Amino acid sequence: MEGILGRIVAIVLGLLALAAVGYAAYNGFSNSKASDVATGVTTVVENARAQFTQSATGYTKFTTANVASLNTAGILPSTWWNGTNAIDPWGNTVAFAAGAGGTSQGAITFGGGGSETQSQCVNVAQNLKDYVTLKVGTTTFTTAAPADPVTAAAACTGAVAFVLTFQ
């Protein structure tokens, strides 16, 4: 009887250990995906600034209609191009436009498809920097009032899209 109980306890402990490893792997993957989104958006912003700011037309051609050319010019991270569209690591189509400031600003819309978790959303909102505005759902952050954990969590409810406007 003691041998059977010992085996049952060993099996249960083994299953708990496997569950813990699976949970840790899931969290690691989740955090990695959020990091990939923030890094990708930062890459697009830096590359767009380098190539559009000296243009006579500014960001007027920084549009979704020109996404193939944006990819060819090296503005998009290679992992964000599916051959037709720009796709973020969450699987959502990314949109590009001139920002509210006209030719002096660009805007990137990403996320919102429901595949990101609230934790990933908060992580991205807090890790994006150097923007004019960052709209997360209906909440707008600025460099003077950036996302903190509480306001980001409140903004990251449901399948929210991000709109980052930069100069």
Extents of the domains making up the chain: 1-166
Contact predicate 105/166, CB 8 Å: yes
pLDDT digits (tens, 9 = 90+) for 102-121: 789 999 999 998 889 999 99
In the chain, which ranges are continuous DSSP H helix?
A: 2-52, 67-72, 118-127, 149-155
* pLDDT score at 101: 74
Please write the tens of the pLDDT for every residue from 116-141.
999 999 999 999 999 999 999 999 99
DSSP 17: H
- The candidate with the shortest Cα–Cα distance to 94, out of 50, 141, 41, is 41
Q: Look up the CATH architecture of domain 1-166.
A: 2-Layer Sandwich (3.30)
So what's the pLDDT on residue 32?
Answer: 79
**Cα atoms found within 13 Å of the Cα of residue 33, Cβ hemisphere only:** 21
Which tokens in the block code for residue 40?
């990708």
Q: 110-119 burial, b for 16+ CB within 10 Å, e for fewer?
A: bbbeeebeee
pLDDT of residue 111: 96
pLDDT < 50: residue spans in the chain: 13, 16-30
Nearest partner of 75 among 58, 103, 55, 96, judged by Cα:
96
Question: Tokens 């990403």 — which residue?
Answer: 110
CB 134 within 8 A of CB 88: no
SS3 107: strand
